[in-house]
């Protein structure tokens, strides 16, 4: 489904501006230097024009020494203003970029924290390419907003206010023309362009994320694409998506061209309007020659801040679309929020009582009840889809049961401190994910800061140590992206090693031998039996042979445990 921008641009901007609050002094400094810098540039033009066309003519009949003195004084003033303009512009840009990159770092931390809260329930089955696009390009695009949008809006407003007052003092009707000119170029035209391109900007960012997902999916399935001869078809689909993205970019370029044309026409219209107004007023005796000259030059040279504001709308549609996507992710509520409730330090067994759970409309568990005594190996056997893995995820509190209770040490896990709960449990999933890192670091995820000796000991318990030692670099061997250098069984044993290293009293094993042959299955089961010590184990499998390890076996059928 096509994603549409659901908030108005002003709402998105206000939310993004709210994040600047901790860095407000830098923002105020940037605005002050920006206003002073533009005023230096504007009055440099005014003074130069006035000096050349009026001041020097007035002293043309005087002696050479007076003429030279006048030129020197004018040059000093102009050079001083030019140097100040350069220094102030540099200072403004430095402050703005400091704010931008500081806030981007804060935003990334907030996004990663949000993703951590949302996973795994809210991220399961989510479009990963779109998430990557939000984390990378969408956040990066917000740099334009923080470095080149917030302060330029304030700078344009304040500078325009100063110039309206200055021109109005010379001749009040001219002040009204200036106000209308700044309002048209800096507000009306960008607002029109923003409204016209809002949906296109959102569609472009969504299409960009979808293309990322498609490419990522294609790279992961490259072997299958080659094996089944789907390369041409996949390339055709990628080409179609790229063309669609190109068409959207063309539409955005059209909005930009329209905006530039309207801006230039408006500047010419109000500049000539000011010139004709002042010439007519000069002829009617309402203004002096000096007032006519200064007012006209001031109008011609003061569109810089509002032009910068108008040019923002070229990228603002995409920037606001990126802001919408980032804010939507930050505002998304987790399926199961972490709690800081009752402490849990000792494991006395676990249980599920009359648990009901459904994925949306699909009922998975109905009135499930099971007891897991401390120190026992409890096996759950059943066909795929019967809810075995779901039950383990409920014990981990990745999801909350719709009704009924999940208990650890006779405490409802919804009321237990989430950190304590996760420390109490070790979970081995069906598909072990490996990071593009060394084997040692992949095992060490189970216990950050673990010593090499602890890592080796965990690997031995998982019966993977001997295999690791046959590798050229041993534990320092890189596993490759997504663990492509290892077999399914080897990856699964690394997952079991992580669980042993975590050393939690409650061990949850989801199909721990599904990727192993009979020999390796026997080795793993023997290792689990010998190495588990006093640990309580909840073992899930569709293999009857795996149940040989269990002290008690429950068979899971449709919506019941027997």
CB atoms within 10 A of CB 531: 16
The residue written with tokens 């024009």 in the block is 49
| Cα 224 from Cα 288, distance rounded (Å) | 82
Q: Does the pLDDT value for residue 474 go beyond 60?
A: yes
Rounded to 10 deg, the angle between the 150-170 and 304-331 helix axes is 150
| Spatial CA neighbour of 203 closest among 9, 8, 1, 11 | 1
Report the chain's mean pLDDT, rounded to a whole number.
Answer: 82
Structural contact between residues 527 and 513, judged by C-beta atoms closer than 8 angstroms: no
Counting beta carbons within 10 angstroms of the beta carbon of residue 337, is it exposed (0 to 12), middle (13 to 18) or buried (19 or more)? exposed
Whether 9-331 shares its CATH topology with 350-561 is answered no
Q: What is the pLDDT of residues 104-119, one digit of tens each?
A: 888 888 888 888 888 7
Q: What SS3 state is found at 153? A: helix
Residue 557, helix vs strand vs coil: strand
Residue 562 has pLDDT above 60, yes or no: no
Q: What confidence category does residue 180 fall into, taking pLDDT thresholds of 50, 70 and 90?
A: very high
| Strand duo 552-557 + 536-541: pairing | unpaired
Instruction: Report the pLDDT averaged over residues 268-292.
Output: 88
The residue ranking higher by pLDDT, 269 or 148, is 269
Q: Which of 53-67, 170-184, 365-379, 519-533 has the lowest mean pLDDT?
A: 53-67
Is residue 435 within 8 Å of 441, Cβ to Cβ? yes
Rounded Cα gap, residues 93 and 559, in angstroms: 64
The whole-number pLDDT of residue 547 equals: 84
CB 237 within 8 A of CB 230: no
Local structure of 206: helix, strand or coil:
helix
Placement of tokens 């721990």 in the chain: 512
How far apart are the C-alpha atoms of 232 and 238, rounded to whole Å? 10
d(CA 30, CA 93): 7
Q: What is the CATH number of domain 9-331?
A: 1.20.1560.10
Distance CA 104, CA 120 (A): 25
Q: Taking the CA atoms of the chain, what radius of gyration do you get in angstroms? A: 34
Closest listed residue to residue 274, CA positions, set 261, 262, 287: 287
**Residue 468: count of CB within 10 angstroms of its CB:** 23
Distance CA 354, CA 401 (A): 10
Query: Which structure tokens are listed for 333?
Result: 């509520």
Q: Rounded to an integer, what distance in angstroms lies between the CA atom of residue 503 and that of residue 506?
A: 9
Q: What is the mean predicted confidence (pLDDT) over 517-534?
A: 76
pTM, two decimal places: 0.65
Q: Is residue 398 pLDDT above 60, yes or no?
A: yes
pLDDT of residue 486: 80
- Looking at the chain, the number of H-run helices and the number of E-run strands are 20, 10
Q: What percent of the chain has pLDDT over 70?
A: 91
| CA separation for the pair 538, 380 (Å, rounded) | 8
Q: Do residues 27 and 99 make contact, with C-beta atoms less than 8 angstroms apart?
A: yes
Task: Decide: 37 and 93 in contact? Cβ < 8 Å.
Answer: no
Q: How far apart are CA 498 and CA 230, in angstroms?
A: 37
**350-561, which class in CATH?**
alpha beta
User: How far is 74 from 95, CA to CA, in rounded Å?
Assistant: 32
Is the pLDDT at 401 greater than 60, yes or no? yes
Read off the pLDDT of each residue in 463-479 and give the average, rounded to a whole number. 87
What are the boundaries of each domain within the chain? 9-331, 350-561
DSSP 438: B
> Any idea which residue has 């031998």 for tokens?
513
What is the pLDDT at residue 29?
92
């Amino acid at each position: 489904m096509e994603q549409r921008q659901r908030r108005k641009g002003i709402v998105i901007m206000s939310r993004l501006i709210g994040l600047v609050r901790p860095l407000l002094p830098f923002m105020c400094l940037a605005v002050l230097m920006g206003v002073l810098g533009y005023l230096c540039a504007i009055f440099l033009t005014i003074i130069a024009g006035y000096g050349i066309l009026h001041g020097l003519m007035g002293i043309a009949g005087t002696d050479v020494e007076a003429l030279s003195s006048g030129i020197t004084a004018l040059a000093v003033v102009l050079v001083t203003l030019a140097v100040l303009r350069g220094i102030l512009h540099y200072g403004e840009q430095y402050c703005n970029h400091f704010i931008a990159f500081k806030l981007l770092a804060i935003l990334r931390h907030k996004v990663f924290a949000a993703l951590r809260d949302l996973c795994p329930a809210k991220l399961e089955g989510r479009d990963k390419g779109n998430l990557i696009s939000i984390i990378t390009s969408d956040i990066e695009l917000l740099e334009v907003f923080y470095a080149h949008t917030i302060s330029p809006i304030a700078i344009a407003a304040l500078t325009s206010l100063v110039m309206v007052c200055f021109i109005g003092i010379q001749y009040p009707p001219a002040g009204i023309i200036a106000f209308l000119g700044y309002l048209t170029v800096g507000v009306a035209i960008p607002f029109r362009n923003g409204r016209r391109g809002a949906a296109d900007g959102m569609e472009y960012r969504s299409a960009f994320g979808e293309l990322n997902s498609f490419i990522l999916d294609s790279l992961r399935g490259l072997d299958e694409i080659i094996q089944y001869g789907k390369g041409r078809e996949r390339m055709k689909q990628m080409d179609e998506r790229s063309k669609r993205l190109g068409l959207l970019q063309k539409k955005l370029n059209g909005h930009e061209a329209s905006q530039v044309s309207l801006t230039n026409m408006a500047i010419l219209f109000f500049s000539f309007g000011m010139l004709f107004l002042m010439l007519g007023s000069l002829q009617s005796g309402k203004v002096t020659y000096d007032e006519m000259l200064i007012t006209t030059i001031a109008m011609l040279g003061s569109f810089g801040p509002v032009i910068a504001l108008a040019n923002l709308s070229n990228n603002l549609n995409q920037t606001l679309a990126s802001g919408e996507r980032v804010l939507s992710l930050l505002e998304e509520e987790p399926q199961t929020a972490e709690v800081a409730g009752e402490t849990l330090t000792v494991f006395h067994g676990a249980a599920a009582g009359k648990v009901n759970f459904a994925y949306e409309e699909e009922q998975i568990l109905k009135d499930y009840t099971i007891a897991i005594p401390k120190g026992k190996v409890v096996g759950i056997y059943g066909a795929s889809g019967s809810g075995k893995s779901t039950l383990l995820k409920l014990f981990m509190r990745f999801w909350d049961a719709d009704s009924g209770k999940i208990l650890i040490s006779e405490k409802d896990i919804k009321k237990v401190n989430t950190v304590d709960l996760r420390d109490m449990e070790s979970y081995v999933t069906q598909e072990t994910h490996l990071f593009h890192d060394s084997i040692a670091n992949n095992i060490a995820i189970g216990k950050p800061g673990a010593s090499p000796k602890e890592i080796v000991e965990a690997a031995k318990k998982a019966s993977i140590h001997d295999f690791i030692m046959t590798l050229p670099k041993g534990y320092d061997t890189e596993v490759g992206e997504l663990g492509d250098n290892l077999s399914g069984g080897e990856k699964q044993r690394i997952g079991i090693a992580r669980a042993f290293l975590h050393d939690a009293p409650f061990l949850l094993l989801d199909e721990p031998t599904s990727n192993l042959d009979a020999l390796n299955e026997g080795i793993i089961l023997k290792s689990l039996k010998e190495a588990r010590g006093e640990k309580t184990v909840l073992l899930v499998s569709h293999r009857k042979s795996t149940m040989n390890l269990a002290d008690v076996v429950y068979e899971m059928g449709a919506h019941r445990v027997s």
